[in-house]
Amino acid sequence: MAVWVGLGLALGLWVWAARGATAAAEYYAAYVLEKSLSVDNIFVFIIIFSELHIPAARRKRVLWFGVLGALVFRAIMIGAGVALIQRFHWAIYLLAGLILLAAGRLLFGAEQERRVVEEACNVCNTWIARFVRVSPVIIGDRFWRRENGRRVATPLLVALVMIETTDIVFALDSVPAVLAVTRDPMIVYTSNVMAMMGLRSIYFVLADTLTHLRFLRQGLAIILLFTAGKMLASDWIQISPLQSILVIGVVLLATVGASVWAPSPARPAKSAGPAPVPATKSVAP
């Protein structure tokens, strides 16, 4: 994680040298915003891996391909978003509306989101199984295996498709939010790339810690409300990138501090669920 954070900060210095202090401030503001919002992805990743019974040793490959796919989808969405704003000024209000919906989801939709993901993770009955045959057996790092002479998907492929699908939904939140900071396509995309490339490392470092940050989702919602307000008021009030960084940093620090001082109450033990999938076979790919 430290390597990717260091690269992200170093790229900001290059932007400063190549394009000036204003562009660098926009990059850092976009990077910090995207980095903080990407933490919400990890909550969903935890649920997906848990419900699909993916062993920890098999998650790295899934996350790696998930990040690569996300970079492609986000490039498309960033290009479309910038083009839309440049062509139609009223599009900023549409994007601000998406940000407000995302804030509402974080504030009021946590349990519903959890239930939806958990119900969608029945490995052999997911919507993915309508298109390909799915086996509950995991074999090494394979996304596909042979079963009775037929090619079938493993739970790793199901996890990958679900991660890619949920990231598209999250991109509808984060891309408009970053466009509230800057509309420079290069800065928007590079900040997304650097934030997303470190996501896999962040997952393994913070997966166990995030569940203890009781107020994190509320903090992220406040950040989204701030960016939506900034976008809506952009014709009358100019908020500098440095001011954006300060607001985001203060909210995140307050969120972590409040979570430390008022930790989540212990949850009741989870009732016994369905039988786990068959044990992972140690078969060479």
List the chain pLDDT tens, one digit each, 285 residues. 678 888 888 999 999 999 999 999 999 999 988 888 877 777 778 878 887 888 888 888 898 888 888 888 888 888 888 888 888 878 888 888 888 888 888 887 666 656 655 555 565 566 677 777 877 778 888 888 887 778 888 888 888 888 888 888 778 778 888 888 888 989 999 998 888 887 777 777 666 666 677 788 888 889 889 988 988 887 788 788 888 889 988 998 998 888 888 765 654 444 444 444 444 443 433
Residue 270 included in any domain: no
**Residue 209 included in any domain:** yes
Task: Look at residue 30 and tell me if it is in a domain.
Answer: yes
Domain membership of residue 275 (yes or no) is: no
Q: Domain of residue 25: give its range.
A: 2-261
Is 68 inside any structural domain? yes
Residue 96 lies in a domain: yes
Distance (Å) of CA 17 to CA 13, 24, 69, 175, 189:
6, 8, 30, 25, 18
In a domain, 193, yes or no: yes
Number of domains in the chain: 1
Is residue 43 assigned to a domain?
yes
E strand segments, 140-193: 144-147, 150-153
